[in-house]
Amino acid sequence: MLCVLIGMPGSGKSTVGRQLARRLGLSFSDTDQVLESRLGCSIREFFEAQGESAFRDHEEQTLADCLAQGQGVISTGGGIVLRPGNRERLRAAPCVIYLRASPEDIYRRLRHDTSRPLLQVADPLRKLKELYADRDPLYREASGYVVETGRPTVAALVNVISMQLDLAMPNRLGSPTSEAPKL
């Protein structure tokens, strides 16, 4: 089984992904961690030195490589959906879950996080609202399922996702629907 988590920065993709992989007995990959390992520096450092376009090139290749493994739980960077090729790859994956969180919830989670380059601005909440407005339709386009994260615990989110995967893919071989249902 291959399950990919997408969503805004701070929506819980890495945290939920690790626990979901453990629950399902699958490997876990975080495209941001894979990228940092390949780049030999933090995303923020690379972003500042080389720019967003160069970063997105590396991110695109990393997604392709992670998907090519064919199984496991993959957590992606928040901007993974910005490139049409990435959205196409994601749509072709058997299970892509959009962890949907409001900009306000994300702000509460990330307000002290200095590792995220796109949020190092004077008004991070406004930036999150702008990112959300731009990206929410792209996440919906690329996903097969939408999970509203709200304020449940990580364990509760993992339970919801796991139960819904059992219902949607009893043999864990199913493919996503053309529309993104809420889980």
Could you list the pLDDT tens digit for every one of the 183 residues in the chain? 999 999 998 899 999 999 999 999 999 999 999 999 999 999 889 988 999 999 999 999 999 999 999 999 999 999 999 999 999 999 999 999 999 999 999 998 888 887 776 677 889 999 999 999 999 999 999 999 999 998 788 999 999 899 888 887 765 444 344 344 455
DSSP track, 142-163: H-SEEEE-SS--HHHHHHHHHH
Q: Is residue 21 part of a domain?
A: yes
Q: Is residue 180 part of a domain?
A: no
Distance from C-alpha of 60 to C-alpha of 88, rounded to nearest angstrom? 11
Binding residues for Mg(2+), as ranges, are: 14
Residues facing residue 57 across a β-bridge: none
Count CA within 13 A, CB hemisphere, residue 166: 9
Binding residues for substrate, as ranges, are: 32, 56, 78, 135
pLDDT score at 176: 41
Which CATH number do you get for residue 92?
Answer: 3.40.50.300
DSSP track, 19-64: HHHHHHT--EEEHHHHHHHHHTS-HHHHHHHH-HHHHHHHHHHHHH
pLDDT score at 179: 43
pLDDT score at 166: 83
Binding residues, as ranges, are: 10-15, 32, 56, 78, 116, 135
Total domain count, the chain? 1
pTM comes to 0.88
Q: Is residue 8 part of a domain?
A: yes
Question: What is the domain extent for residue 162?
Answer: 2-168
Binding residues for ATP, as ranges, are: 10-15, 116
Q: Is residue 109 part of a domain?
A: yes
